[in-house]
Amino acid sequence: MIESFHGQKTTTTNTSMSNQNEQQRFVEINSHPFIGTKEEWEEERFLLRIHKAGPKERLKRRHPLDNRPQMRGVVLKTLIRKPKKPNSANRKCVLVRLTNGKEITAFVPGEGHNLQEHSVVLLQKKRVRDVPGLKIRVIRGAYDCAHVTKNK
């Protein structure tokens, strides 16, 4: 009587043993008796390893402004970023050092801006869809950033 990996007991006779030898062979690794082919045993070991590892821990997304609705920063440099494929207009951006010490690229909405180095700006989390990696926008009309002017 042979006990398989799943705890099932099987009996074999000499005539059926010769047939099973051709199809299956007895594999004993890590003191776990298992009746089956080598491929079946490798699959069983793989599934056992996954089961022992358990579920993967999901990474939490990090808020770029440390979970604050707005944050103040100082402009270090003005930049121009190119959007993804179908769009072609250059996006005006600024490199900003936040009050917590991080440096972030932020998008300046609207046509034209008066931002230059050392300007103080207020930022909010709002992504720009056609520019990869831009998740922060400058709030127009706060601190040194002027409102959008209407041309008549």
For residue range 34-70, list pLDDT tens digits in order. Answer: 667 888 888 988 999 999 998 888 889 899 999 999 9
Please give the average per-residue pLDDT across 4-19, as a whole number: 53
Q: Does domain 70-138 fall into CATH 3.10.180.10?
A: no
Structure tokens belonging to residue 57: 């821990």
CA dihedral for 26, 31, 34, 37, sign (positive or negative): negative
Please give the average per-residue pLDDT across 84-109, as a whole number: 95
- Nearest 5°: the CA angle 77, 79, 85 is 160
Structure tokens belonging to residue 56: 């993967």
Q: Which regions of the chain carry the CATH code 2.40.50.140?
A: 70-138
Q: At residue 108, does pLDDT exceed 80?
A: yes
For residue range 22-32, list pLDDT tens digits in order. Answer: 444 444 445 55
